[in-house]
Structure 1
Amino acid sequence: MIIKRLRAKYLLAILFSCSLTACVPLEEQAQSSGTGTTAQAALRYEDYVYHESINSVQAYLATGDADQVLNPPVTSISQEFPLILEFDRLNAGPQRLLVKLVHCNANWTPSNLNETQYLNDFNEFFITDVQNSVNTRVPYVHYRFRVPRVKLSGNYLLVVQEEGGKLLLTQRLLVFQNTVVVTAKLGAPLGPGGREARQPVEFNVFYKDYPIVNPAVEVKAILRQNYRWDNAKTITKPTFVHDAQRRLEYVFFEPKDLFKGLSEFRAFDTRSLNFNGIGVQNINLQTNPITVDLEPGKSRQATVYSQEPDINGMRIFGNRQYGSGEVNGDYAVVDFELNAPAEAPGAVYITGALNNWKPGPESLMRYNSEEGKYSGRILLKQGYYNYYYTLKPNATAPTDESYFEGSHFATENIYDILIYYRPPGTRADLLIGYEELYFNRR
């Protein structure tokens, strides 16, 4: 009898311990995983790489087009086309990697929804599409993951980690449901020219067939330029509310509320390492990894607008000699050079999709006063890239691309508008409207 009671207590203790583990938030699981008490990185609700071996992260809507990788990771609730995540892990063998989805509010904080409310499946997915690189000097493993279908619209954070809980990367995704109608148009030029030239975007939200209780305070709008999150503008209330028309009007009069037009992006092409592509001055095949020297650049702050083809800061991986860029694209050390007669009033970075628009140590440029130039280098996969040279005046100030790139009303840019609403009695912000606008489309 005593032995039976002890066994029952032991089983209860095990069940109690397991239930505690299952309820631990994802952040705490990640921090408590691994051997010993070594702390893991805390989960960040943004596009972020946690481990230095992860490179070339790409998320997009797979429409089947040749340039589908340029699509942002945005899909409708019908999910006619899947969202795809791809990335490389350098100098490592294939591993079983785990993916989870976290539903988030408009401000990228986790919502209060249960996983069963936004997923049809158990929230634990393994990446099964795994390939080793082929004939590359820098070995890597290429991972490809098809995002599972979800039940609700809104913001989603895709979390990739090792089986033990070690975080590798996070990627933001959007799922919208057009229950309201968003219409946008270009505004008239506003403010001075030069590097301060800005591009006004105006839009309306029609909610005729969707019940919004208090639209003046409960509807949130986010405006992005070229799908960037680093400088996205959050609009907490409309400029005008037209109750009779059930229409919200958004018009902006202050320069701070408008995006600078900037200039068309600088570009280089390393899809072939046998000859110099666009923007490439020299390729050294004797080094390992291969070294690519780009043509020296200069400030465009005082230059007139030049219409150059670009892909709005994004990138396309590829290898023109040996098949697929996914596993045949090699990595090369790319050397950047920017001529500058005087040192800029702050730190200078290389920015673009190539570093997730995040100024960090790997993209910091160093100034040589004797030669009058900035130089920097980044390890990048073969491909066609767009980029800017960016000034960051100090640690707390926002980045300023216009310092070196100038700004023009005529520049071609893509804007997208995100409309969020939390219905009464619910526990999460839903993405109820989405619209894209091509500014000065050629």
Structure 2
Amino acid sequence: MHQKITIILVFFFNSVISQNIKTIQLRPLQENYFSSIVPLGTVLELSFDDLDADSKEYKYKIEHMTHDWQSSRLLSSQYIDGFNQNSIINVTNSFNTLQNYTHYAVQIPNINTKIKESGNYLLSVLDKYDDVVFTRRFILYEKATIVGVSVERSRNTKTLNTQQTIQFSVNHPNIRINNPNQEINVVILKNNNWSEKITDLQPTFFKQNQLLYTYTNKTNFWGGNEYFYFDNKIIRNGSLNIIKVEKKEVYHHYLYPFTFNEFKRYSYNPDINGQFVIRTLEASDAKTEADYAMMHFSVLVDTPFTEKEVYVYGAFNDFAISEETKMYYNAEEKSYKGNFLLKQGFYNYTFATVGKDGFVNTNELNGTFYETENEYSVIVYYKPFGSFIERVIGVGTGFFNQNR
């Protein structure tokens, strides 16, 4: 298989986040919509908390990128009406919480920044010294094509029970494509996680106004497993999958431990594909009145994994591997343990192992199964000969349905 369909530890474009920056979200305003891949003109809101709670000055900066997330080197005036860098002025302090924080938010587009071209964009947050605090990616696309996506069980007998394959078509009756191999690039993205993607695909068949991508193995992804979850919308008492609550400097929430079983079988469990929702039942505005809790995670296993580290993994930190989410083995209790602060809400998470080679594996602890319900996005980039702008002319979405 030309493309390794596992998660690779990549530090390029990973957020360089201060320990005090938490709960970064870049989403449209629609409720329970988690993707930052949206039609051109859609309003996205960036929000985050600073646990220093001292009302720092932060700015945002927007840069147009190529399909492989390199700088396009375009002038900002070529893709933005207004300014590509501005101060974040919507700043609010937390209210009635044990953990104090300052909440920052900005909507894009706004009166100062209007993006006029589709494409890949990198949003950076800068401090008062113009140093990058963290980055997030977003994509604005045109509905210029129709992208049909099909997700099926792997047809490779060796991975029949562990992988899923994606096939898709790009229908472009209103766009003239002279040389698809040079003018078109596509990316398949799993669960809005940029660590799990397939690129460098060429059409397998050409029809009039249609490109077909019908690979058998090259577009296979590991199915993985459904995410674990918890809900701590009530800070003082145990809630969904929380077995113990202690009040210290902040509330400490202890989750049900996960027992490692290398012969684990798939069992259906609805999830939100690793995402999270901030919410609280004890206040009216979760943005500034939801508290933070120290979440305690544990994995029961008789012996530690050889030359591998274990991490908690999910969208709560942009699917990144970080020292904060690392777990440590306790020989007396025969378990890996880890803890870190999270804002109240409903969270999906899983566990990842990382070897000395930097290879990140989210399947080793929780297994990988073809039945797992995943969301796949196919992003179509178009840059005709002589053009300076690489547009996104269509996005298609497919879900695996084992009952189909």
Q: In the alignment, which residue of structure 2 is the partner of 1:48?
A: 15
Whole-angstrom distance in 1 between the partners of 2:22 and 2:43: 22
Q: In the alignment, which residue of structure 2 is the partner of 1:39?
A: none
Contact 1:315 1:354 in 2 (8 A): yes
Confirm whether residue 74 of structure 1 aligns to residue 29 of structure 2. no
Confirm whether residue 318 of structure 1 aligns to residue 285 of structure 2. no
In the alignment, which of 221, 224, 249 is matched to residue 212 of structure 2?
249
How many Å apart are 1:168 and its aligned residue?
Answer: 1.8
How many Å apart are 1:384 and its aligned residue?
Answer: 0.9
Q: How large is the Cα RMSD of the aligned pairs?
A: 2.0
Q: In the alignment, which residue of structure 2 is the partner of 1:240?
A: 205
Q: In the alignment, which residue of structure 2 is the partner of 1:362?
A: 324
Q: In the alignment, which residue of structure 1 is the partner of 2:8?
A: none
Whole-angstrom distance in 2 between the partners of 1:441 and 1:60: 29
CA gap of 1:427–1:406, structure 2 versus 1, over 3 A, is same
Trace 1:393-404 onto structure 2 (pairs within 5 A): 393-397=355-359, 399-404=360-365
Unaligned ranges ≥5, structure 1: 1-43
Runs of 4+ aligned structure 1 residues displaced above 4 Å come to: 192-196
**What TM-score comes out, normalization by structure 1 length?**
0.83
Instruction: Please list the CA deviations of residues 310-356 of structure 1 after superposition, one character each: whole Å capped at 9, or x if unmatched.
Output: 11100011121122221111111111110011222311111001221
Identity within the alignment, %: 28
Whole-angstrom distance in 2 between the partners of 1:104 and 1:324: 35
Contact 1:104 1:428 in 2 (8 A): no
How many Å apart are 1:45 and its aligned residue?
Answer: 6.7
In the alignment, which of 164, 167, 174 is matched to residue 132 of structure 2?
167
CA gap of 1:92–1:166, structure 2 versus 1, over 3 A, is farther
Q: Secondary structure at the match of 1:187?
A: strand
The answer to which structure has the higher helix fraction is: 1
Instruction: Please list the CA deviations of residues 261-294 of structure 1 after superposition, one character each: whole Å capped at 9, or x if unmatched.
Output: 1111101111112221111111101x11221111
Whole-angstrom distance in 1 between the partners of 2:158 and 2:233: 37
**What TM-score comes out, normalization by structure 2 length?**
0.91
Whole-angstrom distance in 2 between the partners of 1:98 and 1:206: 40
Trace 1:16-95 onto structure 2 (pairs within 5 A): 46=13, 48-63=15-30, 65=31, 67=32, 70-77=33-40, 79=41, 81-95=42-56
In the alignment, which of 199, 207, 210 is matched to residue 172 of structure 2?
207
CA gap of 1:301–1:199, structure 2 versus 1, over 3 A, is farther
Aligned residues: 388
How many Å apart are 1:204 and its aligned residue?
Answer: 0.7
Q: In the alignment, which residue of structure 1 is the partner of 2:291?
A: 330
Q: In the alignment, which residue of structure 2 is the partner of 1:116?
A: 77
Instruction: Please list the CA deviations of residues 341-386 of structure 1 after superposition, one character each: whole Å capped at 9, or x if unmatched.
Output: 1222311111001221111211111112332211111111111111
Trace 1:281-292 onto structure 2 (pairs within 5 A): 281-285=243-247, 287-292=248-253
In the alignment, which of 169, 175, 184 is matched to residue 149 of structure 2?
184
How many Å apart are 1:193 and its aligned residue?
Answer: 7.9
How many Å apart are 1:440 and its aligned residue?
Answer: 2.1
Q: In the alignment, which residue of structure 2 is the partner of 1:32?
A: none
Higher relative contact order structure (alpha carbons within 8 Å, sequence separation ≥ 6): 2
Q: Secondary structure at the match of 1:402?
A: coil
Contact 1:195 1:407 in 2 (8 A): no
Contact 1:45 1:157 in 2 (8 A): no
Q: In the alignment, which residue of structure 1 is the partner of 2:378?
A: 417
CA gap of 1:290–1:274, structure 2 versus 1, over 3 A, is closer
Instruction: Please list the CA deviations of residues 57-87 of structure 1 after superposition, one character each: whole Å capped at 9, or x if unmatched.
Output: 0011113x3x2xx33112212x2x4111110
The answer to which structure has the higher strand fraction is: 2
Q: In the alignment, which residue of structure 1 is the partner of 2:220?
A: 258
Instruction: Please list the CA deviations of residues 175-196 of structure 1 after superposition, one character each: whole Å capped at 9, or x if unmatched.
Output: 0012222111123433458896
Instruction: Please list the CA deviations of residues 26-49 of structure 1 after superposition, one character each: whole Å capped at 9, or x if unmatched.
Output: xxxxxxxxxxxxxxxxxx973514
CA gap of 1:300–1:234, structure 2 versus 1, over 3 A, is farther
Q: Which amino acid aligns with 1:56?
A: T
Q: Which amino acid aligns with 2:106?
A: F
Compare 312-321 and 122-131 and name the one that shifted more. Answer: 122-131
Whole-angstrom distance in 1 between the partners of 2:366 and 2:262: 5
Whole-angstrom distance in 1 between the partners of 2:97 and 2:145: 49
Q: Secondary structure at the match of 1:217?
A: helix
Q: Secondary structure at the match of 2:395?
A: strand
Q: In the alignment, which residue of structure 1 is the partner of 2:269?
A: 308
In the alignment, which of 252, 276, 279 is matched to residue 241 of structure 2?
279
Unaligned ranges ≥5, structure 2: 1-10
CA gap of 1:299–1:381, structure 2 versus 1, over 3 A, is same
Q: Which amino acid aligns with 1:304?
A: R
Q: Secondary structure at the match of 1:366?
A: strand
Whole-angstrom distance in 2 between the partners of 1:52 and 1:335: 17
